[in-house]
């Protein structure tokens, strides 16, 4: 990708989300001060600003935008270049947009209203229109009207994150408890399908729909999470091995159909699609649309950079995302990858911290480890990244994955 003429300032709670591109004078980052953030800033001291939080938890994107240090950075860049820099965030929301307008900043993310319409589990049904056929059998109902018919099913709220808004109902008692707590809440109920999940990142431009390499979605694995539907990682190696040519074509066709609909909404840049493959029938289903930069983008782009260093041609997913947001022509395809994985240890009932010597052992095994300073249960504790896959089959770790498990068990 050619060097940008414009200056983009990526404001993000989690600095890892912004590291799909090397920071430089035209691409700067504002994030929370963490120990990991400090190690990154040491490499790029002139292009990264870290802000100390006033509480135990990291500041959100909106709070970072309101911080005077952020405003000073924008003013400094404006004075140095004579033009206002662009602002980029991980996901645009109705809270982000007014802050950007208040300061006269040019926000290049797609509109929050568009993102909400596409990602919301309720409004998404209408937005999908005839593409609704790709979803598992479903209906929209108020909780008080849902009846137990003796078969397990899925309830999803309008909003959720990494599986947090998804509940498997296995009994009338479980359903009754939710109905009592949220009788007037609208939900989307779906047939429960046992199977393996996959994800693909997609970049939309006015002329092209660029699909990244498919990854297997690591979900609900103990001891990494307590939630059975929490997404905790990706394995590009396993997806390349276990998906058939027909499966890959189905996903590519679905990607093009949804991408075309996004184009009609004037969407630009990244979004993500999650797919479920039924273990008994082999049938594929659409289960999620993430109308934002997917969390796997940064590491995927790192893996693509490694392939380019070996001679591969094309763009990284993050490079294409930036180009699309800036309205630049995107003529190259994304670099294909077929190996590599990352997995997240979340804060669970049994795991609140990871000892330094455990992290050291993981790094000695050739893995990259990104620590987080979160405190809430279910949030990220450490992110472990491997150049090789860590799964041998659905919900089964290979030797690399089992070594990660063994190291983490010494931490409990």
What's residue 157's pLDDT? Answer: 87
Integer CA distances (angstroms), 156 to 124, 236, 239, in order: 12, 27, 26
CA 217 – CA 395 distance, rounded (Å): 10
In this structure, of 152-161, 176-185, 313-322, 327-336, the range with the lowest mean pLDDT score is 152-161
For residue range 123-148, list pLDDT tens digits in order. Answer: 999 999 999 999 999 999 999 999 99
Is the pLDDT confidence value at 48 over 80? yes
What's residue 160's pLDDT? Answer: 64
Pairing of strands 284-290, 269-278: antiparallel
Work out the pLDDT band at 163, boundaries 50, 70, 90.
very low
For residue range 283-296, list pLDDT tens digits in order. Answer: 999 999 999 999 99
Integer CA distances (angstroms), 268 to 6, 209, 213, in order: 17, 10, 19
Quick one: average pLDDT of 240-266? 97
Integer CA distances (angstroms), 283 to 244, 253, 275, in order: 12, 14, 10
Residue 82 φ/ψ region, left for φ over 0, alpha for ψ in the -120 to 50 degree band, beta for the rest: left
The percent of residues in the chain predicted with pLDDT above 70, rounded, is: 97
In 110-252, DSSP assigns E strands to: 138-142, 153-156, 166-169, 186-191, 195-204, 209-211, 215-219, 231-235
What's residue 388's pLDDT? Answer: 97
Quick one: average pLDDT of 70-79? 95
Residue 109: count other Cβ atoms within 10 Å of its Cβ.
24
Residue 290 φ/ψ region, left for φ over 0, alpha for ψ in the -120 to 50 degree band, beta for the rest: beta
Quick one: average pLDDT of 217-243? 94
Is the pLDDT confidence value at 1 over 60? no
Pairing of strands 215-219, 166-169: unpaired
Is the pLDDT confidence value at 103 over 50? yes
Is the pLDDT confidence value at 377 over 70? yes
Quick one: average pLDDT of 149-171? 82
The percent of residues in the chain predicted with pLDDT above 90, rounded, is: 90
Residue among 29, 60, 108, 112 at smallest CA distance from 298: 29
Is the pLDDT confidence value at 159 over 90? no
Work out the pLDDT band at 304, boundaries 50, 70, 90.
very high
CA 145 – CA 184 distance, rounded (Å): 9
What's residue 172's pLDDT? Answer: 95
């Amino acid at each position: 990708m050619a060097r940008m003429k414009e200056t983009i300032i990526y404001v993000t709670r989690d600095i890892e989300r912004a590291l799909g591109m090397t920071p430089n004078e035209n691409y700067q980052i504002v994030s929370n001060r963490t120990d990991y953030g400090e190690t990154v800033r040491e490499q790029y001291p002139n292009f990264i600003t870290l802000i100390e939080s006033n509480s135990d938890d990291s500041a959100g994107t909106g709070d970072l935008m309101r911080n005077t240090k952020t405003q000073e950075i924008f003013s400094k860049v404006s004075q140095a270049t004579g033009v206002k820099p662009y602002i980029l965030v991980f996901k645009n929301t109705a809270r982000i947009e007014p802050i950007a307008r208040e300061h006269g900043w040019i926000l290049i993310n797609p509109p929050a209203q568009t993102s909400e319409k596409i990602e919301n589990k309720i409004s998404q049904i209408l937005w999908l229109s005839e593409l609704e056929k790709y979803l598992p059998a479903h209906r929209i109902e108020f909780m008080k009207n849902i009846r137990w018919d003796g078969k397990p099913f899925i309830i999803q709220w309008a909003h959720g994150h990494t599986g947090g808004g998804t509940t498997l109902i296995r009994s009338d008692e479980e359903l009754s408890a939710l109905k009592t707590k949220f009788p007037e809440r609208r939900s989307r109920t779906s047939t429960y399908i046992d199977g393996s999940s996959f994800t693909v990142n997609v970049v939309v431009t006015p002329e092209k729909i660029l699909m990244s390499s498919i990854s297997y979605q690591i979900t609900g694995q103990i001891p990494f999470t307590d939630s059975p539907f929490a997404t905790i990682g990706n394995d590009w190696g396993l997806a390349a091995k276990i998906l058939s040519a027909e499966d890959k074509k189905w996903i590519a066709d679905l990607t093009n159909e949804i991408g075309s609909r996004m184009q009609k909404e004037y969407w630009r840049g990244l979004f993500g699609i999650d797919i479920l493959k039924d273990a008994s029938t082999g049938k594929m289903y659409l289960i999620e649309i993430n109308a934002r930069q997917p969390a796997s983008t940064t590491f995927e782009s790192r893996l693509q950079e490694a392939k380019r260093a070996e001679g591969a041609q094309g763009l990284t997913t993050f490079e294409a995302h930036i180009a699309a947001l800036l309205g630049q022509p995107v003529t190259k395809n994304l670099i294909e990858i077929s190996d590599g994985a990352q997995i997240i240890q979340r804060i669970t009932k049994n795991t609140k911290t990871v000892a330094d010597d455990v992290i050291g052992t993981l790094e000695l095994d050739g893995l990259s480890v990104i620590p987080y300073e979160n405190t809430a249960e279910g949030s990220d504790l450490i992110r472990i990244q491997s150049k090789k896959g860590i799964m041998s089959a659905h919900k089964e770790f290979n030797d690399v994955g089992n070594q990660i498990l063994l190291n983490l068990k010494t931490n409990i």
